[in-house]
Amino acid sequence: MSKIIEVKNLKKYYPIKINWRQQAVVKAVDGISFSVSAGQTLGLVGESGCGKSTTGMTVLRLVEPTDGDIIFEGKNIKDLNRVQMRLYRKKMQIIFQDPYASLNPRWKIGNTIAEALEIHKLATGQIGKLRVEELLDRVGIDPSYKNRYPHEFSGGQRQRIGIARALAVRPQFIVCDEPVSALDVSVQAQIINLLAELQDEMNLSYLFIAHDLGVVRQICQRVAVMYLGKIVEYAGSEDLFNNPLHPYTKALLSAVPVPDPLAKRDEIVLTGDIPSPLNPPRGCSFNPRCPYAKAYCREKAPQLSTVGDRLVACHLVNKIRGDQDAAITEMAQAN
């Protein structure tokens, strides 16, 4: 399957002043790599503050990357200037978590969608109006509501309008930044179904950012788990949900509610908060919260390495997955 976007060693660092003498760097995204194939969805999950949303914005160059490559349809767009980027802007869109904040409250929703068409010279006048109606209809909003303002709609309807605006420019790749987190559970399912239908119809590719793992399982073919600016596990969705290997992934999944109250499960309770990216722990950044941590974990940061069909960044992954032979070498290092 062809890759629509490939991100290599992406970094986004923010220099900040601690006091008038000292400068520090917050590594919001610290050398991550992933790709999304045409018509597929990659989930990006992790706790708040792990760098998921910064990754989404940086991939679209709404935030400028510090380093790395962003290869879209075979072209590295990282160093393109504003004019050159214009062609790619319409191919790459974003749907935000809070649709109300992303819609102009003083504009009728029809005008908001028409603006996207006009900026990219896709349709104006009568053709533009018809296209706006067609888009509203496709996302499940009555086209006769085009003269209404955002406050006249519910949260779910506003998210549908946000989706219509993103679709207006016929994108190929959409960053969905927590698109259902602010919605009621019943409405979440409708929006997820809509995104899935649109993907099938238009062969869209999504980078789906979320902290709700149940939703991610439903819509994503592959999943990248982020912790403190880095990817710690990158795997096919079924592999990851059926058999998580990184201790952090295990902890995240163990906290997902299951419908059967009698189902037996070993919940791993994560203690403490995600550490400050300003002062990350030495060695493996997960070590202060990891139930498997050894002395070695506090010395050296693990690299993402291949384990079967996936990538995992953990010194003790073979012990955790029960590969005894590989675990002997691993334990010799760790003790």
Residues that bind ligand SF4 (CB under 6 A): 247, 284, 286-287, 290, 292-293, 297, 302, 314-316
Cβ at position 244, least distance to ligand SF4 in Å: 12
Cβ at position 326, least distance to ligand SF4 in Å: 14
Cβ at position 335, least distance to ligand SF4 in Å: 12
Instruction: Output 206 or 292, the one with its CB closest to ligand SF4.
Output: 292
DSSP 160-225: HHHHHHHHTT--SEEEEESTTTTS-HHHHHHHHHHHHHHHHHHT-EEEEEES-HHHHHHH-SEEEE
Q: Tell me the HSE value of 146 on the side-chain side, using a 13 A CA sphere.
A: 21
Identify the sign of the CA torsion 324, 327, 332, 335.
Answer: negative
Q: Which pair of structure tokens corresponds to residue 299?
A: 């010395």
DSSP 137-162: HHTT--GGGGGS-GGGS-HHHHHHHH
Centroid of chain to Cα 289: 23
Cβ at position 319, least distance to ligand SF4 in Å: 8
Name the phi and psi angles at 119, rounded to 5: -55, -40
Q: Which pair of structure tokens corresponds to residue 140?
A: 């499940």
Instruction: Output 253 or 316, the one with its CB closest to ligand SF4.
Output: 316
Cβ at position 55, least distance to ligand SF4 in Å: 20
DSSP 272-287: SPPPPTTSPPSSSTTG
Instruction: Output 179 or 280, the one with its CB closest to ligand SF4.
Output: 280
Instruction: Output 146 or 250, the one with its CB closest to ligand SF4.
Output: 250
Cβ at position 207, least distance to ligand SF4 in Å: 25
- Round the CA-based radius of gyration of the chain to a whole number and report it: 22
Instruction: Output 169 or 270, the one with its CB closest to ligand SF4.
Output: 270
Cβ at position 295, least distance to ligand SF4 in Å: 10
Q: How far apart are the first and last CA of the chain?
A: 43
Q: Which pair of structure tokens corresponds to residue 32?
A: 């991550």
Instruction: Output 12 or 315, the one with its CB closest to ligand SF4.
Output: 315
Cβ at position 140, least distance to ligand SF4 in Å: 43
Q: How many residues does the chain have?
A: 335
Instruction: Output 215 or 251, the one with its CB closest to ligand SF4.
Output: 251
Instruction: Output 159 or 285, the one with its CB closest to ligand SF4.
Output: 285
Identify the sign of the CA torsion 319, 250, 44, 295.
Answer: negative
Cβ at position 233, least distance to ligand SF4 in Å: 10
Rounded to whole angstroms, how far apart are CA atoms 57 and 70? 12
How many other β-carbons are positioned within 10 Å of the β-carbon of residue 147?
A: 10
Instruction: Output 179 or 244, the one with its CB closest to ligand SF4.
Output: 244
